[in-house]
Amino acid sequence: MHVLIVLAHPEQKSFNSYLAQQARATWLEQGHEVTVLDLYAERFDPREGDWHYCDRQDAQRFDAMREQRHHWNQQSLPAEIERHIDLLLQADALIVQFPFWWFGAPAILKGWMDRVFVYGGLYQSQHRHEHGVMRGKKALVVSTAGASEQACAPDGRDGDMRLLLWPILHSLHYVGFDVLEPYLIHGVRGGLAPEAERKQQKYLEQRTLDYQARLTRWAQWPSIPFNQEQDFIDGQSLRPGAPTYSPFVRHIP
């Protein structure tokens, strides 16, 4: 199996970078191939914009979807985008590793999806969801939050972290991945007093070992259920009686 780990953290000595390296070591030990794509280390530009495209289909007005499709068809996407797409296409499994920043992913990761999940190539109307280009591959989101597990729970003050991750989880499903239940680590805080710091270190070490052990049981990792095409009328609205798996796609009372 080939595993691609996409890391979105600016500091190589951070806990997130450590988790990415520990995951890499676990996969290697199991005899798999692993690539870590460190977006900050590559100084990846997360801004989609006209300056990335050399031979525009429409030079007068920049239309991101139009230019993405055109440059995919012409095989003239920016070199780093082509390389990242190749890595995605070669991978059997994707792990997306990032700290929870302002109730979502760091901007570099959102921009990575804006630029790398190209229209016409990685998705189009006939190739989305269970018919997506990435079907048959699994994707796992691993994220750390400063807030406690209680604060990130469904009744927590910071809101349900699992729900706040919907945009990224749904985007991965949109391009066809089988999206696994995210692995979340809470209470990852800096600036602690020495005693609290020691306690946290111990806790983070335990969680890292638990995460690595879970990776060795990859086949048993539960997937997130999403509605299938037949659950929607004309592919748009939930059919009466269709199951619901998320408050984001629900029956209107």
Q: Tell whether residue 183 is a contact of ligand FMN (CB under 6 A).
A: no
**Is the CB of 103 or the CB of 245 nearer to ligand FMN?**
103
Residues from 186 through 205 that contact ligand FMN (CB under 6 A):
188
- Asked whether 107 and 168 are in contact (CB, 8 A), the reply is no
| HSE, side-chain direction, 13 A CA sphere, residue 219 | 1
Inter-residue long-range contacts of 201-205, CB under 8 Å, 24+ positions, other chains counted: 204/15
Q: Residue 92 CB: number of other CB atoms within 10 A?
A: 14
User: For ligand FMN, what does the binding mask look like between residues 132 and 151, x meaning CB under 6 A?
Assistant: ------------xxxx----
Q: Which one, 26 or 144, has the nearer CB to ligand FMN? A: 144
Q: How far apart, in whole angstroms, are the C-alpha atoms of residue 186 and residue 143?
A: 9
Q: CB under 6 A: which stretch of 95-103, 128-136, 172-180, 217-225 binds ligand FMN?
A: 95-103
Least CB distance to ligand FMN at residue 188 (A): 4
Tokens 């068809």 correspond to what residue?
A: 73
Residue of 32, 56, 63, 101 that binds ligand FMN (CB under 6 A): 101
Q: Which of 6, 7, 15, 37 binds ligand FMN (CB under 6 A)?
A: 15
Rounded Cα distance, 105 and 110, in Å = 7
Tokens of 35: 């690539």
Contact 73, 120 (CB under 8 A): yes
Nearest in space to 135 (alpha carbons), one of 184, 174, 191, 183? 174
* Residue closest to ligand FMN when measured from CB atoms: 146
Smallest separation, CB 81 to ligand FMN (Å): 26
Which of 100, 112, 117, 123 is in the footprint of ligand FMN by CB under 6 A? Answer: 100
Among 31, 102, 230, 253, binds ligand FMN (CB under 6 A): 102
What is the DSSP secondary-structure string of 57-114? S-SSS--HHHHHHHHHHTT-S-HHHHHHHHHHHH-SEEEEEEE-BTTB--HHHHHHHH
- What amino acid occupies position 11? E
* 12 in contact with ligand FMN (CB under 6 A): no
**Nearest distance from C-beta of residue 65 to ligand FMN, angstroms:** 29
171 binds ligand FMN (CB under 6 A): no
Between CA 245 and CA 222 the distance in angstroms is 14
Residue 15 or 44: the one with the smaller Cβ distance to ligand FMN is: 15
> Which range touches ligand FMN (CB under 6 A), out of 12-20, 24-32, 119-127, 216-224?
12-20
* Interacting residues with ligand FMN (CB under 6 A): 9, 14-16, 99-103, 144-147, 158, 188
